[in-house]
Structure 1
Amino acid sequence: MRPVRVYIWKFGTVIETGKKNKINLMKKVLLAVFAVTVITVSLQAQGIRLGAKVGTNLNKISGQSFSDGFDLAYHVGGFLEIDFNKKWGIQPEVLWSQTATKRSSFNTIYASEINPLNNGEKIKLDYLSIPILLRYNVGGILTLNLGPQFGILLNQDKTLLQNGESAFKGGDFSMVAGGQLNFKVLRIYGRFNIGLQNINDIDNKDKWTNQQIQLGLGLRF
């Protein structure tokens, strides 16, 4: 039986290595797309402004497995304001963003998969979020934002399931809509992010999507 066990172990290692390679490739592709987008539009822009931002996340993961209420977390990062003219522009950002939620029916739905040694109710996921937002300057101090957001999962809780399996997918895709008030160097913003991708990496019993309200302050340099 020893050769069989060795073969199974090696096969599992190959699968795990394949997942890691796919995630690493996805990270490189997203960062490359972000860099190319910024460089391309910068060449055509009339004005470019750099800034930093910090704020709170009110988020939940939809699905029967988790609590239906919103939980508090945080985000921090940097942004560029790139104007094509007085009305239109884009706003690419790079953010560290945390998602927090609580288990609801997770232990019931995945009773055979959960790790009995992990009894924690709270779950936290850290993402590298890359929103690329269209800017529309309404007039005065108000700017509206709309666009896609790509998320790369930075941490993966290997104690949630048995055998160190991953419960969440390594990437996420969402749409972002919101508004921003501009006071010289100060930015006050609010936005809603709705996930379009199922981040459940276990099976298809329950569909999980991120939903997030962001409120924060930014400073333009």
Structure 2
Amino acid sequence: MRKFILLAAVFSIFTLTSQAQGLDFGVKAGVNFANITDASGLSNRTGFVAGVFLGGKLNDNLGLQGELLYSQQGAEFELGEFNLDYVNVPILVKYYVAQGLNIQAGPQFGVLVNDDTQTVIGEVINDIATNDFDVSGVVGAGYDFPFGIRVSGRYNFGLNDVPETGSGKNSVVTLAIGYSFL
């Protein structure tokens, strides 16, 4: 079911953007400042994000953009690691408030591809079970330069718990730069 949702999201992006004016396709990379909410004793994990984007303007003020991103998330704490790597698919509506300047919002669907979640208590190592699928909301702002450079800042807030037992949602601030080939 989760793979179906992810596949449907990617298909929707390609269908909607193929009808859009002025396609926008490119690559992007940046830095994540991630944490897990509702958990004590955790601090930010700094990681990277990289991938591709495809979008287009539906009219002068409104655009749609989908992305396929590899994203390092999680948190750090004194007794172990909570490193989570996802393949994320955000589907964003971009509202252009001025030439190039836009605000962005939409859902993000993520599949966990790597989890290094170990705590060390004495000599005992405990693995923390995590959910394989993540749903987040995304809000942010960006600027599309006329010569292809794209910059953005976003906040991703998790809508479901990361650990299988207990509570804690992904919370990620992302700063990224990209280049559009079209």
**TM surpasses 0.5:** yes
Instruction: Quote how far apart the aligned CAs of 1:66 are.
Output: 4.4
Pair 158,213 (structure 1): closer, same or farther in 2 beyond 3 Å: closer
- Alignment size in residue pairs: 177
RCO comparison, higher one (Cα < 8 Å, 6+): 2
CA contact (8 A) 1:101 1:123 kept: yes
How many Å separate the matches in 1 of 2:29 and 2:131?
A: 26
CA contact (8 A) 2:106 2:139 kept: yes
1:1-221 matches, cutoff 5 A: 25-27=1-3, 29-67=4-42, 69-103=43-77, 121-157=80-116, 167-184=129-146, 185-201=148-164, 203=165, 206-221=166-181
* Higher normalized strand content (fraction of residues): 2
How many Å separate the matches in 1 of 2:26 and 2:141?
A: 16
Letter in 2 for 1:54: A
How many Å separate the matches in 1 of 2:15 and 2:129?
A: 37
Instruction: Quote how far apart the aligned CAs of 1:34 are.
Output: 2.3
Pair 217,41 (structure 1): closer, same or farther in 2 beyond 3 Å: same
Letter in 1 for 2:92: L
Identity of paired residues, percent? 32
* Higher normalized helix content (fraction of residues): 1
Q: Show structure 2 runs of 5+ residues with no match.
A: none
How many Å separate the matches in 1 of 2:18 and 2:155?
A: 30
Pair 163,64 (structure 1): closer, same or farther in 2 beyond 3 Å: closer
CA contact (8 A) 2:81 2:116 kept: no
How many Å separate the matches in 2 of 1:77 and 1:83?
A: 20
Match of 1:139, SS state, is coil
Q: Show structure 1 runs of 5+ residues with no match.
A: 1-24, 105-119
Letter in 1 for 2:132: G
Letter in 2 for 1:91: Q
TM-score (norm 1): 0.73
Letter in 2 for 1:81: G
Match of 1:154, SS state, is strand
What do the CA deviations read for 1:5-45 (whole angstroms, capped 9, x no partner)? xxxxxxxxxxxxxxxxxxxx423x13321232023213421
CA contact (8 A) 1:78 1:93 kept: yes
CA contact (8 A) 2:82 2:117 kept: no
TM-score (norm 2): 0.87
Q: Tell me which moved more, 153-162 or 85-94.
A: 153-162
